[in-house]
Structure 1
Amino acid sequence: MQRDHKKSTWLKGMMLTAVLAAGIFMNISSVSAATGNWDGAQKAVVNAYKKYQTSVDVSAYNLNYATEYDNLKSMMGEVVSETPYLFYTGTRFSVSRNTSTNQIVKITLGYADAYKKSDGTIRKAKIKKTRTRLDSAINQALLNVEPSMSQVEKAMVLHDYLVRTTAYTSDSNNAFRLTEVGVFLKHKANCEGYSRAYAILMQKVGIPVKFVSSDKMVHMWNKIKIGKKWYHVDVTWDDPMDSRDKTDQYGRVSHQNFLCSAAKMQKTKHYDFSTGDATGTKYDNRYWKNVNSSFYYNDGKWLYMTKDGITERDSLDHGAATVLYNVAGDNLTQYDADRYYFIAFNSIYLYSCKTNEAKAVWKTTDLYSANCTLDQIKFENNKLYYRVYDNGKHISNKITPKEDGIL
């Protein structure tokens, strides 16, 4: 199901003489032509945040508050929502201006409550510790990438990794949901968190990336450049939720919003966004649009589940598919380099790539009613997590597999 994606309406900066109204940011290029050096001011703000400063002098950039208010909102919005690794920025800022000329002379920077003390002192040690943990988690994600992969394959494998390891949340009490920390360390995020995390991974593998936002949708996602063309990728909307109880679905990965033209995104109910440069339709109707399994790279091949069974490809982008194991299965989940769990006949099966055989290793009838439905599994942290829908609700549990993968 499509969920209600909430992007933060954070622009509630307090001026010394007035209160700035709340609002969603837009790209600087989309507002009226600016007379001030807003790009220079934005770089100064970013550098100030990187140095943990609480304010920045912008008097040299000729920023007029009275005539270029939209640019101010846009600039601060891009800094807070679209700058990788500035996870510690806050939801408020304030400006000091020359009352006779309306020139902005100083911006006082906001920091997230988790990274500042009650007296306003910045928790530098905590920020640095979080950054170290974040770098480690990002490097873990990048282990899924092989140098021999094409751009499409790198983009796909990282798209699938984020969907598998992150659950969507719109909980306003969860401040981490807005940043890459929510994705990589807390494993819960909203569209801002997903978009920032994917942007970081794309930058790491050398794929150009941008942010896309829709004020009316209250939503954001990414564009990436494959070859010479730009394509939309909405990782958030490719992380499906269960329509019955609006919960995250273990192990399921949609690809409806992966490498789409602007026209295709409009067909998937995206609206109120700039459609300018994503005109390429090469991937709009690729086979993966109908694949709800994660793609796994195994010994130079790509493995995934279709309605026909466990399927293999030499390349994601071209060539034919081969069905290795014909089964009306679902929810393929990797156990180790050569073995995968999947659901079939209300049981969990273990499939071996080496032998091309599968055997049932767990049955719902051992614990649950005959009317239940086993519909979700995922393997992480050396445990197999599963969800059974029984008597109108989901029941979640976990099993620690033996060394041979048997449950």
Structure 2
Amino acid sequence: MIYGGKDMKKVSRHMKLFLGLVVFIACICLVKMKMFAADSLTVGEDYLKSNMEMSLYDRLGRSEIELNEPACRIYDAIAKKIDVIDLSDLELKKDDIKPYWEEAISLDPLIEESYNGIKYTRVFTSQDKLLRLKIKYGVSEKEEFFERYQKLQSAVLGYLDKVENGNSEAEKVVYLHNMLAENVVYAKKLSDETYESTAYTAYGALVNGSAVCDGYTYAFDLISKYVGLDAMRVSNQENTHAWNAVKIGGEWYFVDVMCDDPYIAGEDREGIFRYERLLRTESELRASSDLYSGEFKYEKYIDNFGYKFSNMPTGTNSVQAYDNGYWYVVGNDGKSINKLDIYGNFVENIVLLEDGNISAMSIHNNRIYLTNKRTLLIYNTTLKTFIPMSYTPADYLFCYAVYLKNDTKLVLYYLNSETNFVAEEHDLSERLEVGFIKNKDGNIYYRYDNGEYATGVVDIKGEEYYFAADGCMKTGYRKIGNKRYYFDPESGKSMTGVYNTGSYVFDFQGKGEVAKGLTEVDGELYYFHPQDGNAMKGLRIINGKKYYFDAKSYKAVEGFMKIGNYTYYFSPDTKEALKGLVEAEGEEYYFDADGCMKMGYRKIGNKRYYFDPESGKSTTGVYNTGSYVFDFLGKGEVAKGLTEVDGELYYFHPQDGNAMKGLRIINGKKYYFDAKSYKAVEGFMKIGNYTYYFSPDTKEALKGLVEAEGEEYYFDADGCMKTGYRKIGDKRYYFDPESGKSMTGVYNTGSYVFDFLGKGEVAKGLTEVDGELYYFHPQDGNALKGLRVIGNERYYFNDIDYKAESGFVTIDSNTYYFNPITFKSVSGEVEIEGNIYRFDVNGVLK
């Protein structure tokens, strides 16, 4: 007998008391179990924002949500872009899934509004047991759906940046009303090609910028969710028109953005807003149009996160307890404990005892307090080890219950050898390891002197650490409430400085604070979002100044940066995009009021520059700006007047420096500047009716007798080429009427006939030219005509071409005969062509 031969009546009496106490304690345990039992799953922020952009997630104001298991799986599948969801282990009927689907979809308002949203098909057995869900996207390709999701997300953020400027609910409504009215076009005003199904959605309104009344209202409702407005859609009885209701100061008002769109009334949309249907009462709205007749139908988006699970675990032993979302049930072997989730699904088996059976158990804060009928043991489920303490009463028969009063006080109930019930209190703090503790899995915990484990953000010896609800130290980035921390992966200490969390970059400043706005850290400039502190990248306008933050390091860049089609220069000192004339790397550049590099010709103040079209550098030299030609000298200066550049001569206007073209008189000298190159020409140039010769050396138009290209030409005092006969000084020339060249030979000038010999010389006296005989005046060289006695010889020169005649010639009724060879007149008796003629001494025929 285990009672050692005691009186059976006494044993029986004590046994009745014992059994009564056992029943009492069991009832207490059952009540306690129900108090601790959770029938829903709490989902934290990291899970919820897996798909949502962080700033959108923050604006929803959700830190954690109770969510059913099927809804969890659905949301997780969508976030991970999984097409098939296995639900075969949940014992659901095919018609059970709808509320869970709506529950999951409602977590992220963008999902439902991303074009046609997401649908599903069910796979079930012949007994209607649901096996799987297949997700169907509202567009042809899954990736297209998520691309549309991202576009809608970006569009929503763009609206939020302005709508959130409103300080009150009413101001936010006005901002939202105006933005939609200004940016969305009524789709039925557009062509048939543009008017498509997206016009009935928020996607059509916010991304495509075109919608019908449905699209306007869904867009208004969607943005309202993120800015803290309580809004809903309203339609008339016939469903021919829709608008919005919004709660302001506890009262409902109506807003019809579409009907306030100036475009509907054919008005200019730019900066004009109509407020005829903004924040109107029901009576005011009904009085404004027949659109609002009949009964109003109100539609509220699904926004219910309160689904509860009621599944209770089924144990394999009557000894069971609940703690932190899990059931612990002693196995049939009496030596081990099965850990189950709140739905009764097996999680793991915890082997505790090699001998004996577990007779009583209590669990709190991840510690199992148990007895094996004789000894009190404590097992840490997180550390997965027994805490180094055990206790066996000195006088016992049976340890039947443990009760934890708090984290340091435990009561052990047992039956002593006298069969008396004993309640023995124990102080656990004296037996517990304190400080930082690392378990066999490498997880770190911190236990206080009172036995409690640190949880949350705690200060330990001047350093902050973070421990999860189970006491396990967590490192890396953590958002705790509205605070943000970065805990060192090695030491676990809260760190300060800039850290990339993987999804975001923050400048952690300690105590959960992060930098916001433009911030310098260790000599580097960053820009952190003014609301959530996340480091921003790309081109940003901050206080009217532009900065560019690198996509990898998030640091403000310096120097030249091409962004899209524009080049900027970011100051090495302030990191802002500089404007105006900028000296960088020893060169001058010009940036407009937006900080964009400008090339080509620029007049800046009273200075003129030419910036290279490729490099943007201020260049020197002659450049055609398209409208003007300048010789840029640098530092905004341009040449003026007659200027030689690279061996070429130009003439720049004395006042504005613009290169001049055409014929110019400069300092009394003529120059001609080409109409295309603006260079001074050289050589012959016909300008209008005049021909000029411009010196290859000085480029000026030469005057007077000029030798060019081996020929002589003559130019008057204006530099104009002259042709024909010219007496220049005591020289005589004949310049070809076509070419202007100085000619040689016999030419009739009109008044005179000369034999031009070149170099201004003319023949004089009796002269043979090309077999013809002429007689030129011995002094002036003018050709003479008629009968001439030259050296006692007579010659006759006709009055047409001034050539000496031969043969018989009658002059003043006297007949002469001139020798065909010598052209001299003959005298005496002469035989001519077989006839004898007699001429006197003067050559006259007798």
TM-score by length of 1: 0.42
More strand by share: 2
Q: Taking structure 2 as the reference length, what is the TM-score of the superposition?
A: 0.22
Using CA pairs below 8 Å that are at least 6 residues apart, which structure has the higher relative contact order?
1
